[in-house]
Amino acid sequence: MFQPLGPMTVEDWLVEDQPDDGSRLELIWGYLHMTPAPTGSHQYATGELFAVLRDAIREAGREDLHALPGAAVKISTPFRTGVIPDVVAVLGDINHVSFEPEVVALAVEVWSRGNNREERDTKIASYAAARVPYLWLVELPTGKPARFWGYVLGQSGYRQEIYAEAGETVTPPAPVSVSIDTSTLRLY
């Protein structure tokens, strides 16, 4: 399917004001996309993942690696794509408004009902094209434990390494050793 690029550039996206209501304004193939403000359960899971990752980075003594919630990533300037993962692990200096994909070691997306299949597939493909080495995906199905996927970048895309759906503790692929009790990613 041919997708003509929209008129917006990554630079245009970066100067746009983010919505005051917690929604996120992202850029996909030159078009602005608004994702709804995350629910409390989404924010809770994101906070848990951020804290576990931050603590693992500290425990590993990695002063060059930093966990950040909701940081803008310039996925591709030529393809006019910029996204805001729920959590990222970035290498080096964090004193930026946005980050080049080369410094993103891990991207974490917590999917909500507002994220449609096309958006999900586009983001996963964008992270792979930008060569982000590790990707975690989390879904929060109503009344059930969180679903967790952990991926490693291969030659032609991501390879699934971990899947959990019943509240298991997993050791997902990451730039540092980390253990996640997936039962703590949601409150009932």
Instruction: Give the CATH number of the domain where residue 128 resides.
Output: 3.90.1570.10
Whether residue 127 lies inside any domain: the answer is: yes
CA distance 89 to 178: 13
CA distance 12 to 96: 16
> Is residue 123 helix, strand or coil?
helix
Rounded to 5°, angle at Cα 161 from 177 and 106: 55
Whether residue 176 lies inside any domain: the answer is: yes
| Residue 174 burial by Cβ neighbours in a 10 Å radius (0-12, 13-18, 19+) | buried
Q: Provide the number of structural domains found in the chain.
A: 1
The whole domain housing 52 covers: 39-185
Whether residue 29 lies inside any domain: the answer is: no
Tens-level pLDDT at each residue, the chain (188 residues):
556 889 999 999 999 988 888 888 999 889 998 888 888 999 999 999 999 999 999 999 999 999 999 999 999 988 899 999 999 999 999 999 999 999 999 999 999 776 777 778 889 999 999 999 999 999 999 889 999 999 999 999 999 999 999 999 999 999 999 999 999 998 76
